Every structure is written in C-alpha cells, then in structure tokens.
C-alpha cells in the first residue's frame, strides 16, 4: 500500500502547487499570507484546506462568501498525488523518485501559469535548471547528456524564434520558453528534449488549427507554448526512453 502513502503525500504537495500557481505570477510570497479565499480574502481554516476532501465537503464553494472554488484546485491536488504514485512506480524509493517528482511538479506549475498568464516565472526555470544539472551527476543519462540537453534545447528554440521573427516580422516565443526548454533538457537529456520539442510543436500546431477552424481565430493569436512543453516533458519522462529505443531499433535494425 505504499502507493497510497505517496498519493496522500502528493495531494498535500498539490495543495502547495496551487499556492505557487496563484502567487508566483502575481509576485506574492508563497509563504505569507496564509491560505485565503481569493474573493473575500478570508483566511482558510485548517479543516477547509484538506486536499480534495475540503472541496467535496464544501460543494466547491467558499464557506464564508459562497464563491465558487476554481476547478484548478482539486485538479492540481489530484495531479500532485497521481504523479507521486507514478514516480514511485517507475523509480521506486530512490533519489530519482524525488528528483523527477520535483521536475513533474514544476511542469504542473508551468503549464497552468503559462495557460493563464502566458509567462513562465524565472522562480521555476532557474532553480530547477540548477537542480537538473546537479541531479544529472547521480542519474541517467548522466551529466554530459544533461549539459548537451540544456544547450541543444535552449539553442534550438532560440534559433527557431530568430527564423520566425525573420520570416514574419513578429515574435513567436518569449525568453521564458527558451529557459524552460533548457531547464527540461537538464532533466531529460538531449534525446529527451528533442522528443519534447517535437511532441509539443505537433500538439501546438494541431491545437492552433483546431482553434482556427472552430472559433475562426487568427493565425496571429498567441498560444502559450509552455502549456504544451510541460505535459510533453512529463510524458517523455515516463515514456520517452521506450519511444526513443523503438525509433532507433526500427531505423537501424542491426543495432
């Protein structure tokens, strides 16, 4: 039943991730003030701050003012628990478990912040870039692949952005995207980050086409790329190695 322990712990982590998602883009400390309703500002009682349970008991509304609680809160709490269990099942109780769970949590925060604000805070990118590089000395694929992943990931997006600006006369990506991909390269290595960029670009392109067809949106409408990069990063963390090995074996059968 260890998975249940990790799920419950992950729910608590997910609650903190909600704090980061709400406060980081608003430049508010994640420590103070204590958790409160964003509508009426009433401080939450401990029993109103139990992950998932409080949302269900309160019927999805603030006890004081009755304002609806955003759907993101229970979803992120659930993701916090689910990802902790997934990392436990993949890595066991190990250094990799906590390293890659931290990476997964960072991806959750990035995805929701970028989706709402179209920014990716340096408070996530820079510390986790350092964490990924340090962690690479103790995990596979190793520090060389990690360092190359930083350079290849960030460099490829910078080059793509420059080509886009030259071709269209307008910016297509921000500096936060470059830093995010560099940070992800530190955790996933150069092969992993190339797969991330491919998957995120494909998903972003398909989403853009769907939005244009469904809502007649302009091709100039901004789509937060970080919200595609982050889920792709989690996907590659769990399934990327198998995909890469399958691709290599099918491309070079004798190897």
pLDDT score for 253: 61
pLDDT at 53 over 70: yes
**Is residue 188 within 8 Å of residue 233, measured between CB atoms?**
yes
Q: Taking the domains of the chain in order of start, what are their residue ranges?
A: 1-93, 120-255
pLDDT (0 to 100) of residue 162: 76
Is 106 within 8 Å of 27 (Cβ atoms)? no
Q: Which of 54-58, 144-148, 170-174, 238-242 has the lowest mean pLDDT?
A: 170-174
- In whole angstroms, what is the distance from residue 247 CA to residue 196 CA? 15
Tokens of 21: 């998602």
* Sequence-separated (6 or more) residues with CB below 8 Å from residue 174: 118, 119, 120
Confidence label for 154 from pLDDT (cuts 50, 70 and 90): confident
pLDDT at 2 exceeding the cut of 80: yes
Give the rounded distance of the alpha carbon of 20 from its chain centre.
12
């Amino acid at each position: 039943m260890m998975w249940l322990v990790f799920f419950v712990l992950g729910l608590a982590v997910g609650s903190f991730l909600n704090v980061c998602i709400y406060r980081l883009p608003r430049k508010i400390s994640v420590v103070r003030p204590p958790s409160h309703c964003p509508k009426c500002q009433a401080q939450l009682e401990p029993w109103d701050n139990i992950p998932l349970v409080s949302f269900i008991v309160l019927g999805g509304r603030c006890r004081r003012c009755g304002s609806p609680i955003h759907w993101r809160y229970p979803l992120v709490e659930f993701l916090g628990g689910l990802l902790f269990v997934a990392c436990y099942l993949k890595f066991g109780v190990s250094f990799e478990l906590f390293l890659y769970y931290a990476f997964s949590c960072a991806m959750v925060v990035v995805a929701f912040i970028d989706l709402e604000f179209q920014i990716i805070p340096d408070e996530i990118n820079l510390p986790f870039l350092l964490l990924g590089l340090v962690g690479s000395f103790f995990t596979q694929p190793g520090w060389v692949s990690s360092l190359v992943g930083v350079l290849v990931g960030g460099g490829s997006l910078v080059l793509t952005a420059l080509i886009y600006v030259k071709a269209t006369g307008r910016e297509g990506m921000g500096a936060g995207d470059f830093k995010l991909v560099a940070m992800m390269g530190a955790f996933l290595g150069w092969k992993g980050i190339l797969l991330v960029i491919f998957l995120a670009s494909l998903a972003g392109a398909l989403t853009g086409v769907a939005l244009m067809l469904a809502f007649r949106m302009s091709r100039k409408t901004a789509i937060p790329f970080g919200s595609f990069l982050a889920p792709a990063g989690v996907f590659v963390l769990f399934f990327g190695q198998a995909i890469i090995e399958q691709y290599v074996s099918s491309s070079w059968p004798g190897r």
